[in-house]
Amino acid sequence: MTTPLLRVRNLHAKIEDTPILKGLDLDVNVGEVHAIMGPNGSGKSTLGAVLAGREEYEVTDGEVLYKGADLLDMEPEERAQAGLFLAFQYPVEIPGVNNAYLLKAAVNARRAHDGLGELDAFEFLKSVKANMAFMEMDESFLSRGVNEGFSGGEKKRNEILQMLMLEPTLAVLDETDSGLDIDALKVVARGVNRLRDESRAVVMVTHYQRLLNYIEPDYVHVLSKGRIVKSGDKTLALTLEERGYDWLREEAVS
């Protein structure tokens, strides 16, 4: 029995005085893609925020082990350097910090953690250009400020570009599909699928089944009131699409 890449046990978290996660359990192994679905307010985004280390959320109970280590004890940058990547639902605009700079600094921070030297300028550029072409992004984005003036779809592509460059061990996508038209969704999905292999795992938080047509999950979990109330394979998502979430609430109560 191998240790899971990510083990979440009895996780409780609150923001200000409002408890959001109330005993969440989740195991994610390398090679797996998990989808976490649920109605608004069920705690989907909070899970991503807690995993990434947002300070506004206070963990009141439970534990999260990443590669066997206490994730909650790590600074956000340590998590990133150790291969955890969160694609934000609303990526922030940072005028004056150029995209190329951030990509390079991020890649090198991760390499430094792994005991590797800095990527040389030529290798970096080659890799970033290839990934941008794959994400159907114009190279002019490199010299622009991070997400500055980007459309919603461009911001999401940029998140996936960063992900491809960083090659994370665990990628958490927080509603990366929301607000995307079908073409952008396909590009984003292609980016995620490209990363998919036996050494990595993906956790997708989503409101819509649509994304799962393009990124086929191994497991689907339904989150409700801060806990996972049902887990299954991809067919669960289809059931949810047909029946909504209400039947689960009743099932959970009964």
Partner 1 sequence: MNAALASAHAKLRRSDPALPDQLAARQADAFDRFSERGYPTLKHEGWRYTNLRPFRDAELLPVAAGHAAPDQDAEDLADLVLTLDPAAPAVTTPLPNGVRALTLRDALDSKDPILSQFGAIAPLLGDALVDLNDAFALDALIIDVTDDAAVSTTIAIDWRLSKAANELASPRLFVHMGQHAELSLVERRIGRGAFTNAVTELSLSAGSRLSYVDLNAERRPSRTLARVSARIARDARLAAYSLTLGGQLNRIGTYVELAEPGAEVVLSGTFLAGEGEHVDHHTAINHTAAHTHSVEDYRGIIGRAGRGVFNGKVIVARDSQKITSQQSNDNLLLDEGARIDTKPELEIFADDVACSHGATIGRLDDQALFYLRSRGLDERTANRVLMEAFGKKPLEHIPERFVPALENRMRLGLKRLSEDHA
Distance, in Å, from the CA atom of 76 to the CA atom of 85, rounded to the nearest integer, reads 10
Site residues (CB under 8 A) for partner 1, limited to 53-72: 53-55
- Of 77, 139, 233, 241, the one binding partner 1 (CB under 8 A) is 77
Q: What separation in angstroms does the CA of 192 have from each of 165, 171, 203, 223?
A: 12, 9, 11, 22
Which residue, chain included where needed, has tokens 């083990």? 7
CB of 5 to partner 1, least distance (A): 18
Selected from 1, 92, 182, 253, the binder of partner 1 by CB under 8 A is: 92
Residue numbers 140-159 binding partner 1 by CB under 8 A: 145-146
Which H, E and C letters describe 186-235, residue by residue?
Answer: HHHHHHHHHHCCCCCEEEEECCCHHHHHCCCCCEEEEEECCEEEEEECHH
Nearer to partner 1 (CB atom), residue 55 or residue 120:
55
Asked if 110 touches partner 1 (CB under 8 A), the answer is yes
Q: Of the ranges 13-21, 73-81, 190-198, 233-241, which one interacts with partner 1 (CB under 8 A)?
A: 73-81
One-letter amino acid for residue 148 of the chain: E
What is the pattern of x (binds partner 1, CB under 8 A) and - over residues 223-252? ------------------------------
Give CA separation, 74 vs 6, 29, 63, 114, in Å.
14, 20, 12, 16
Q: Does 15 bind partner 1 (CB under 8 A)?
A: no
Q: Does residue 114 belong to the site contacting partner 1 (CB under 8 A)?
A: no
Query: 46, 131, 158, 162: which one contacts partner 1 (CB under 8 A)?
Result: 162
The partner residues of 172 in beta bridges, in order of sequence, read 86, 203
**Which residue, among 183, 240, 239, has the nearest Cα to 42 in the 3D structure?**
240
Q: For residues 131 and 162, which CB has a smaller minimum distance to partner 1 in the complex?
A: 162
- Kindly state the tokens that stand for 212: 């799962």
Enumerate binding residues for partner 1 (CB under 8 A). Answer: 52-55, 75-77, 79-81, 86, 88, 91-92, 94-97, 101-102, 105-106, 109-110, 113, 145-146, 162, 166
